[in-house]
Amino acid sequence: MSRSPVQSRSTVPVRRRLIARLVGATAVLLLLALPLRAQEPEQDRMAKLDPKTRQSVELLVDSAMAEGLPTQPLRSIAYLGIARKAGSQQIVAAVHRKLNALRAARSVLGRVDTLELDAASSVILAGAKPSQLETFKTPQRGRSDLRAFAVWADLIMRGVPGEDASSAISRLWEDGADDATFVSLWNNVQSDILRGLNPGTALQNRVREAPGRPPTTKGPQTPEGQENARSE
């Protein structure tokens, strides 16, 4: 291709030709690139497991389905195991562990939605006893216990003794604590622990500060109500 000296120094016409060629090639690239790097469907992701492991995981998922338990948390654990390059036995054990935790949560909470069951199972996996979930058994309109469960599991993971965490969270929940209260409690306890305070002590301190039932503005409180508000 002959070019004038001026043209050969200018990059614009060359770039234009190049872009024109690239545009032409784009369609081909598009077709090639899409199937190779497209977002992997769940089936393909499971295919990363060896057939035997995959079958074991699918059996556990089937059990969950048959029992009316959520299956996505189980699959998610399998994907996590794949990403962590964990061994087959470890993956199957982890999925099984989660399934058992879901079962335990279901046995106490009954028929609650997937998210709640998943969050409750995490609390059990953190070390709480299923019976400690009793407080959350009664569904409450307009209230979500996801935050309470998240904070609860976190406190146990940070070293707060199980009984302390359970009774603090349950009591706050019974007192009608909202999301903001749990968030605030968590922020405070977390920073106290980071400053070196004993986790159990940190929690006890901060629970005392947490607002209990909002004081009734209409009419006098009953003697029992007043007593409860004062006690710790």
Binding mask 100-139 for other proteins (x = CB under 8 A): -----------x-xxx--xx--x--xxx------------
Q: How far is the CB of 155 from other proteins (least distance, A)?
A: 9
Cα distance between residue 211 and residue 42, in whole Å:
45
Count other C-beta atoms under 10 Å from residue 127's C-beta. 13
- Our finding on whether 42 is near other proteins (CB under 8 A) is yes
Q: Are 153 and 126 in contact (CB under 8 A)?
A: yes
Of the residues 156, 165, 185, 202, which one makes contact with other proteins according to CB under 8 A: 156
| 75 binding other proteins? (CB under 8 A) | yes
Binding to other proteins by residue 142, rule CB under 8 A? no
- Based on the shown chain and the rule CB under 8 A, indicate whether residue 65 belongs to the binding site for other proteins: yes
Question: In the structure encoding, which two tokens stand for residue 217, read together?
Answer: 């503005």
Residue 135 backbone zone (phi > 0: left; psi -120 to 50: alpha; other: beta): alpha
- Closest distance of CB 52 from other proteins, Å: 18
Residue of the chain from 11, 47, 55, 62 that contacts other proteins (CB under 8 A): 62
Query: Per rule CB under 8 A, is residue 59 in the interface with other proteins?
Result: no
Figure out which of the listed residues 2, 4, 43, 217 binds other proteins, where binding follows CB under 8 A: 43
Q: How far is CA 123 from CA 119, 131, 215, in A?
A: 7, 11, 31
Residue indicated by tokens 């305070």:
197
**Do residues 60 and 74 touch, judged by C-beta distance below 8 A?**
yes
Q: Which residue has the tokens 């948390």?
A: 73
Q: Which is nearer to other proteins, 25 or 229 (CB)?
A: 25
Q: 24: Cβ–Cβ under 8 A, 6 or more apart, which residues? A: none
Query: Judged by CB under 8 A, which of 7, 8, 13, 22 binds other proteins?
Result: 22
8 Å CB contact between 119 and 151 = no
Residue 39 interacting with other proteins (CB under 8 A): yes
Q: How far apart are the first and last CA of the chain?
A: 90
Report if residue 12 touches other proteins, rule: CB under 8 A: no
Looking only at residues 76 through 105 of this chain, which bind other proteins when binding is defined by CB under 8 A?
76-77, 79-84, 86, 90, 93-95, 97-98
Q: At 95, phi and psi to the nearest 5? A: -65, -40
Give 132's DSSP letter.
G
Residues of this chain that interact with other proteins (CB under 8 A) are: 19, 22-23, 25-27, 29-30, 33-35, 37-43, 45, 61-62, 65-66, 68, 70-73, 75-77, 79-84, 86, 90, 93-95, 97-98, 111, 113-115, 118-119, 122, 125-127, 146-147, 150-151, 153-154, 156-158, 179, 183, 186
